[in-house]
Structure 1
Amino acid sequence: MTVLVRALHPDVPADAEGFARVRRLALPYILFTPDSVRHTAAHMHPDARFRPLVAEEDGEVIGTAQVHLVPDGSEPGQACLNIYVRPDRTGRGAGRLLVAAAEEYLTSLGASKLFAWAVDEPANRAFAERRGYRLGRSAHFLRLDLAHGTLPPLQEAPAGVELRTAAAFADDPRPLFELDAETLLDEPSDVAHEFTNYDAWLAETWNHPLLDRELTTAACVDGRPVAFTAAYTDGAGRYSTAMTGTARAHRGRGLAKLAKLHSLHRARAAGLTEAFTGNDTGNDAMIAINTWLGYEICGTEVRYVRELG
C-alpha cells in the first residue's frame, strides 16, 4: 500500500468529503464540512497562496494539510502548515510526506518562519521536534454538553442594551464587521491578523457556510453592536464559537458573556446537542466565562515554530 500526496481538488465531492472527514476524526473539536472546505479554498486571501494537500492511500484520503503564507503578517516570510492524519491511519508515512510537501512549497514562496498546530500528545510532539520545530504557545479546546448539561439561567440585558441576532443585520452587516475587526486585534496569537477589507470579510466570514446568523448574537447599544459571539453549526447537532469579543469601550460589563449565554440557550432549544469553543491557555478571562457557562476542557493543542535558513 503506497501513500501519495497531491493537491486537494475541492470541487471533487470525494476530495472535499475526505478532507472534512479526516479533520473531524483527527480534531473533532473544530467543525468541518465539505462545504466549509470548498469555501475556504475559494475565498482564502489570494496573497496567502493557499494550497490544501491530501495524503491518499488506495484512493482514500487519510491525511490533510492546510498550507499558506500569512498575508500582511507582522513580519515578512511567515507561513502556516497544519497537518492532520486519521487516527486509525497513522504510521504509514502520511504525516511525513505532507510536511515535506508543505515545507517545499512554502520555501519556494520565500517563507522563513513556519507555524504549525499539533494536538498535545507525546507522539505529535516528538514528530514536530524531530523536524526542527520548537514549542510555542498552547490553546485549550472546551466542550459543553447541550443535550444533558446545565446552562446558567437566562439573564436580562441591562438597561440600554438590546440583544440582536446577526440575521437582524442582513441588510447592512458592516457594524458587525467593524466590531469583529476591533476585537480581532486583541486575540492572542503568534501571527497578527486583522480585517481591513470589508468585501473580503463579507466573502470569507459573513458568507461562511457554517455561520449561523440566527444563533450569532450581538449586544447592542443605541442600535450598534458592542459585544458579540459568532456561532457556527454543522447541521449534525454541533455548535462552535467562531469568535467572542467586546469593543474596548464597553468591556467589564459582562456583555459578551450575556450574548453567548443567550446564543447557547437558543442553540439548545433548536435541538443542538454539543457545543465547542477554544481559548489560548493564557486567556484566563474567557476561560472563566466558558467555565461559568458549563464548558469543560476536552483537549489541548500546541503551536510549533520553525525558522528556516
Structure 2
Amino acid sequence: MTMTVRDFRAADAEAVAAARRSAFPYLVTTPRTVVWAVESAPVERHYRLLVAEADGRVVGTSEVGVFHDGEEPGLAFANTTVCAEARGLGAGSALVTAAEGYLAGLGAAKVFAWTLDEPYAVTFAERRGYRRGRSSRIQRLDLTATALPPLEADGLPDGVDLRTAADFADDPRPLYEADAECTADEPGDVTTTPLPYAEWLASTWEHPALDRELTSVAVVDGVVASYSVAHTDGRGRYWSGMTGTLRAYRGRGLAKLTKNDSLHRARSAGCREAYTGNDGDNGPMLAVNKWFGYEPAVNEWRYFRDLSA
C-alpha cells in the first residue's frame, strides 16, 4: 500500500466530505463547505487542508492553520480525521507529522487538536505527546420524535420581536455586533479578538451552511438582543452554529425563545436531527439544551502539544 500526504484538490471534495461525515456524523459537512473553507480562509490563518491518500483513495484529512485572531501569538490548530476502515494504516501519523512540521515552520509554539473521547483517539493523541485540555459535549435532538416546547401561544413579551437572519440581508451589521459580544464570552482555550466586519461577513455571514431562514433573532426595542444560528446540510441535519444573548438582556429567557423558534422552523423545513456542541464549562447553555430534550451524543477533548518542546 502506498500512503501519501498532499494538499487538497477541488476534485477531493466529495471524498473529504464523506470521510468527515463518517468520523463526525453530527457535523454539517458538504463538498461545498469543504471547498469554501479552503478558498475563503484569510491569508493570515495560513490554512491548509492536508489529504492522506492510500492507493489513490482519500482516507484522511487534517485542517491546519494558526489562530490569527488570537490574543496570544504562536497558537495553532491541526484537526485530523481518518476513515474508520483506514485506522491503523499510518494515515493519522503521516497527517499529524506533516501538520506539525508545517506549523513549526511557521513558528507556532503550541498546537491544539480536537479528539473524540474514544480509546483509539485518546491513545493516539497521548502517544504523540499531546495533553488533555477542555471538553466539548455534543448533544442530539430527534426532531421527528421529540416534542418541542410550544411556541409563545399568547404572543411575545412586550417589546420583543422575532425575526430571521434573512430579514437582515440588506444590513447584517447588527448581527455582527451582537455576535462579537457573545463570542467574546464563550469559554475556550484560545482568547480571540473580534473579527473585523469584512472578515465576519466572509467567514460567518457567507458560510455556505448558514440557513438564514432558520436562524432566529430576538429584537428588543429595536436592538438585536439574542440569536440562534442554524447550519443545515440538505440531508436532514441541523447544527446550532451559535446561540447567544447580549449581556444586558440575559436572564429573560431569550436564548430559549430564539432557539425554540429556530428548531420549530427547522422541523417544518424537513430537518430530522438537530445537533449542538457546548464547552463542558458552559453551564447555562448545557441547561438550555437539556430543557429542550437534547441527549448526549459524544464527547470531545481539546488536546494540545508544545511544539517548542
**TM value normalised by structure 1:** 0.97
**CA distance in structure 1 between the partners assigned to 2:258 and 2:193 by the alignment:** 23
Task: Specify the code of the residue in structure 2 equivalent to 1:31.
Answer: V
Q: Quick check: 1:2 aligned with 2:2?
A: yes
Deviations 1:12-68 (A, max 9, x none): 2xx111111111110111111111111111112211100110111122111010000
1:165 and 1:218 in contact (8 A); partners too:
yes
Task: Specify the code of the residue in structure 1 equivalent to 2:87.
Answer: T
Match of 1:61 in 2: 58
Match of 1:92 in 2: 89
Question: Deviation of residue 305 (structure 1)?
Answer: 0.9
Q: Quick check: 1:33 aligned with 2:36?
A: no
Question: Deviation of residue 158 (structure 1)?
Answer: 1.1
**CA distance in structure 1 between the partners assigned to 2:62 and 2:192 by the alignment:** 21
Match of 2:278 in 1: 279
Deviations 1:93-152 (A, max 9, x none): 000000000000000000011101100011111111111111111000000000122211
2:69 and 2:195 in contact (8 A); partners too:
no
Match of 1:46 in 2: 43
Question: Deviation of residue 74 (structure 1)?
Answer: 2.2
**CA distance in structure 2 between the partners assigned to 1:60 and 1:83 by the alignment:** 17
Q: Quick check: 1:118 aligned with 2:115?
A: yes
1:229 and 1:256 in contact (8 A); partners too:
yes
Structure 2 unpaired stretches of 5+: none
Identity across the alignment (%): 55
| Residue aligned with 1:110, SS | coil
| Residue aligned with 1:228, SS | strand
Match of 1:290 in 2: 289
Q: Quick check: 1:145 aligned with 2:142?
A: yes
| Residue aligned with 1:195, SS | coil
Pairs within 5 Å for 1:185-196: 185-196=184-195
2:161 and 2:218 in contact (8 A); partners too:
yes
1:184 and 1:194 in contact (8 A); partners too:
no
Q: Considering only aligned residues, what root-mean-square deviation do their CA atoms show, in Å?
A: 1.0
1:141 and 1:297 in contact (8 A); partners too:
yes
Match of 1:109 in 2: 106
Pairs within 5 Å for 1:203-218: 203-218=202-217
Match of 2:172 in 1: 173
Task: Specify the code of the residue in structure 2 equivalent to 1:74.
Answer: E
| Residue aligned with 2:13, SS | helix
Q: Give the 4+ runs in structure 1 shifted more than 6 A.
A: none
Aligned positions, number: 306
Task: Specify the code of the residue in structure 1 equivalent to 2:18.
Answer: R
| Residue aligned with 2:194, SS | coil
Match of 1:82 in 2: 79
**CA distance in structure 2 between the partners assigned to 1:265 and 1:36 by the alignment:** 25
**CA distance in structure 2 between the partners assigned to 1:192 and 1:157 by the alignment:** 36
**CA distance in structure 2 between the partners assigned to 1:51 and 1:90 by the alignment:** 22
| Residue aligned with 2:107, SS | coil
Match of 2:218 in 1: 219
Match of 1:259 in 2: 258
